[in-house]
A and B are shown apart, each in its own frame.
Chain A
Amino acid sequence: MLNVKNLHVKVEDKNILNGIDLQVNAGEVHAIMGPNGSGKSTLSNVLAGRDGYEITDGKVTYLAQDLLNMAPDERARAGIFLAFQYPVEIPGVNNMYMLKAAVNARRKQQGLPEVDAMDFLAMVKNRMRELKMDEKYLSRDVNSGFSGGEKKRNEILQMLMLEPQLAILDETDSGLDIDALKVVAEGINALRSPERAIIMVTHYQRLLDYVKPDFVHVLSEGRIVRSGTAELALELEKLGYSWIAEEAAE
């Protein structure tokens, strides 16, 4: 589904990603771990099409399309979803309105008619119940004045409504209390299916206890220095990152 080949990215003349190779197939869940500043968010943002990154080398294909040539909104309509590490507050834009505009944009792309207002409402309310979110968040402005945890839940709500092909979750578990983590993890598991793939950026084993990854990658200084199965994360939990970095340096 997603094939990242030798991706090099610069930000303001600083090399951030130094040759990433990553193959994600339908049905798989990949976890990306690694120290602060190693480039995890950069990779997520580049995949979602954010401005301000200079791609100096490499290629990314997504469902046989050249991903790097697509505008961010095109990528989203093609099924890519990024849950932000820091979701943005948008005062004045109603949460429900944005959600519906997003869903309709996707449906239009697929040649489907606008979603029926009543069905949509029922569906959102259902999802919100699953995520233990109060319905009042629908009438509020997008993330405006939401707490850190509420913002993360709102990201997952959007994800569940948009039903992406490829979900990239950038530290969605950070800042969540234990109950919220469980709820969010259930949300992620609900999305898992043979047709979809998920990339989870995380620092913690806790999330991986709930959402078991098929693969775990360690990113360090803009390179994937180690890949393995779920057991790798357990090792990291015990030993930290330094041993990998040392091994990589050898």
Chain B
Amino acid sequence: MNTNLHWQTQFDNSIAQNANPNWLTELRHQAFKRWQTSGFPTLRNERWKYTELMPLAQTEFHLSKNTSSDHYQDLLPETIENSLRLIFVDGQLISELTSDEIYLATLVNTLKQNPAKIEPYITNKNSIDSITDLNTALATDGMVIFIPANCNFTRPIHLIYLYTQIQNNMVHMQNIVHLAEGATATIVEHHIGKDDNRYFSTSFNSIKLEKNANLTYYRWQEQGSDAYHINRTQLMQATHSNTAFFSFDLKGHLVRNEIFQEFIGENAECKLTGLYLGRGKQHIDNYITLNHAVPFCRSEQLFKGILDDRSHGVFHGKVVVSKDAQKTDAQQHNANLILSDKAEIDTQPQLEIYADDVKCTHGAAIGQLDEEALFYLESRGINADIAKQMLIYGFAADTLQHVEQSTLHAFCQTRIRHYFPEMPLLQDELK
């Protein structure tokens, strides 16, 4: 097969189907050209040394033409109370929603009506590797969310991306989120896909918080059992802004989650909590960078992983503290629960400190189920298998400690519970 020709056709079709502003068409062409030269990153690339993308390179993925919107209902997650729910099926929004208080529109519509609003986000996308180029070249839609100054938008915005049963489908999305000065918002980015179906998706997020803004962000990745998924989030935080970011990787065949966070204003705070659950032959790679470029900021990072069967987890967490970033407070921890001899974790927590007056800690732990705790539960009459499930679930659910909104707490718990079917469901939980 002529791979280059295949990608060229995909790209040409996409360009033909999307009437983009000239600057964007130009940008996409440049990105595609770079992509054609480099192709997928290989294991020789330091950033990808634990994650093999060869199978991706060997498959002819097609940009989905039309949505098969008939078979997605069973993929839909529970409703988050009082949320604004936007559903994309195979890359297409199936029902438009607007709000009087905030700007909420698709990338396609924003490009038609107000391209200047998002131009800087698209042109300033950090081109780290060829995956960025691929996304720039092929991502034509996504959500654009602008929260105006001092708006306390209390309704959670639930962005649901569903992937149905189109074989060898590919979907590339780009989301842009901006919180103006003093704005507050809660966003849930949720990917869910059909099992036993190979597809490839990338989802790029550009998020910016201006002064005093507050963002709670949930990233749920529950892709299908044969899915390839790459998620890359760029998060910029100005003075006194606050982010609570939750990242859940519960499914997918090969998943890479990247977060590039940067403090660009002082006294800002970022709490990053992650959970990854590997079963079967899943491969889940978290690549996290926190950048303390300015003084007086706080970051707290906790990633927990549960790896069973022959699954493989990768945690690369880097905290960079620049020379001027005095009084930085940075904590990072990666804890792993290994449930099988064949499961594997590569963990690399890293601190790169160039300032001298800072408080930084980091560490990683790899362990098995706590025998004491297991005996404790059994001694209460709980069957050993169920007790194990409860402990594993407990290890996972511990990441929800910082979920302050009660409706979201309930949602997260329910969602995680789906992965522990043997745990007894008590009557009052059934509602």
Chain A residues contacting B371 (CB-CB under 8 Å) are 51
The answer on a CB contact under 8 Å between A162 and B380 is: yes
- Please, which residues of chain A bring their CB within 8 A of the CB of B157? none
A212 CA to B383 CA, complexed, in Å: 35
Query: Does A48 have its Cβ within 8 Å of any Cβ on chain B?
Result: yes
Q: Is B376 within 8 A of A88, CB to CB?
A: yes
- Given A88-B376, A116-B427, A117-B428, A105 contacting B381 (CB threshold 8 A): yes
Q: Judging by beta carbons under 8 Å apart, are A76 and B379 in contact? A: yes
User: Is the pair A98, B380 in contact by a Cβ cutoff of 8 Å?
Assistant: yes
**Judging by beta carbons under 8 Å apart, are A49 and B379 in contact?**
yes
Q: Which residues of A contact B395 (CB under 8 A)?
A: 91-92
Q: How large is the interface on B (under 10, 10 to 19, 20 to 34, 35 or more residues)?
A: 20 to 34
B426 touches A101 (CB 8 A): yes
Segment at the interface with A among B30-38, B147-155, B264-272, B386-394:
B386-394
Residues of A within 8 A of B381 (CB): 73, 76-77, 102, 105-106, 109, 162
Within 8 A of A (CB), among B383-414: 383-384, 386-387, 390-391, 393-398
Contacts of A84 in B (CB 8 A): 376, 379
A78 to B424: give the CA distance in the assembly, Å. 20
Which of A73, A92, A106 is the one whose CB lies under 8 Å from B387? Answer: A73
Assess A50 versus B375: contact at CB under 8 Å? Given A93-B391, A93-B393, A97-B426: yes
B379-A92 in contact (CB<8A): no
- Find residues 99-153 in chain A having any chain B CB closer than 8 Å to their own CB: 100-102, 104-106, 109, 114, 116-117, 141-142
- Judged by a CB distance under 8 angstroms, whether B104 is at the interface is no
In the bound assembly, the distance between CA atoms of A48 and B394 in angstroms comes to 24
CB-based contact A98/B378 at 8 Å: no
Chain B interface SS verdict (over half): helix
Residues of chain A from 50 to 81 with CB closer than 8 A to chain B in the complex:
50-51, 71-73, 75-77, 81
**Interface core residue of B377, B386, B396 (most chain A CB under 10 Å):** B377
| Pairwise interchain contact B424-A117, C-beta atoms closer than 8 A | no
Contacts of A87 in B (CB 8 A): 376
The answer to whether the Cβ of A158 comes within 8 Å of any Cβ in the partner chain is yes
* Contact of B383 (CB < 8 Å), options: A49, A73, A92, A93: A73
- Closest chain A CB from B412 CB (angstroms): 12
Interface centre among B370, B393, B424 (most CB of A within 10 A): B424
Identity of the chain B residue whose Cβ is nearest the Cβ of A107 in the assembled complex: B381
In this assembly, does A232 line the interface, its C-beta being within 8 Å of a C-beta of chain B?
no
Shortest CB distance B318–A (Å): 27
- Chain A residues whose C-beta falls within 8 Å of the C-beta of B387 in the assembled complex: 73
State the A residues within 8 Å of B (CB): 48-51, 71-73, 75-77, 81-82, 84, 87-93, 97-98, 100-102, 104-106, 109, 114, 116-117, 141-142, 158, 162
Tell me the B residues contacting A by CB distance below 8 Å. 370-373, 375-384, 386-387, 390-391, 393-398, 424, 426-428
A-B contacts, 30 of them at CB < 8 A, read A48-B379, A49-B379, A72-B378, A75-B379, A76-B379, A76-B380, A76-B381, A88-B375, A89-B373, A90-B373, A90-B390, A90-B394, A91-B394, A91-B398, A93-B390, A93-B393, A93-B394, A98-B377, A98-B380, A98-B382, A98-B390, A101-B382, A101-B426, A102-B382, A104-B426, A105-B383, A106-B381, A117-B427, A117-B428, A158-B380
